[in-house]
Amino acid sequence: QVQLVESGGGLVQAGGSLRLSCAASGRTFSSWTTGWFRQAPGKGREFVSGISRSGGNTLYAHSVKGRFTISRDNAKNTVYLQMSSLKPEDTAVFYCAASWVTYPGTDRAQYNYWGQGTQVTVSS
């Protein structure tokens, strides 16, 4: 089992940057593929990015590719999401999730554990 805590959200102007962090408990964090999802008001939870256990494989939603970068530091039990060139449509609650699968995927159902989320608001 793993507990996930997100941080780093906030209010930023369009074009700005934020870095989200997902801190995990447990000594086996390197065994988990990790993903970021987001949920805007009135919309479903959508995949943003994912990273494999070692960090060697990454996956991005088309809407964020080239603007967001996912990374992980297994020694610190932390996954990061660096977000740049933010747009008002990026406004959402961002969630970190962990999965036993080998490679990151876009399907929510493959992720076993979720954090509580952190709010990101991008003003125009």
Alpha-carbon span 37 to 43, nearest angstrom? 12
Neighbours of 110 (CB within 10 A): 16
Closest Cα partner for 37 from 102, 103, 88, 90? 90
How far apart are the C-alpha atoms of 38 and 93, rounded to whole Å? 5
Share of the chain above pLDDT 90, in %: 94
Confidence of residue 27 (pLDDT cuts 50, 70, 90): low
Q: Is the pLDDT of residue 78 over 80?
A: yes
Q: Is the pLDDT confidence value at 97 over 70?
A: yes
CA neighbours closer than 13 Å in the CB half-sphere of residue 7? 4
Is the pLDDT at 26 greater than 80? The verdict is no
Q: What are phi and psi of 109, to 5 degrees?
A: -65, -20
Residue-level pLDDT at 109: 96
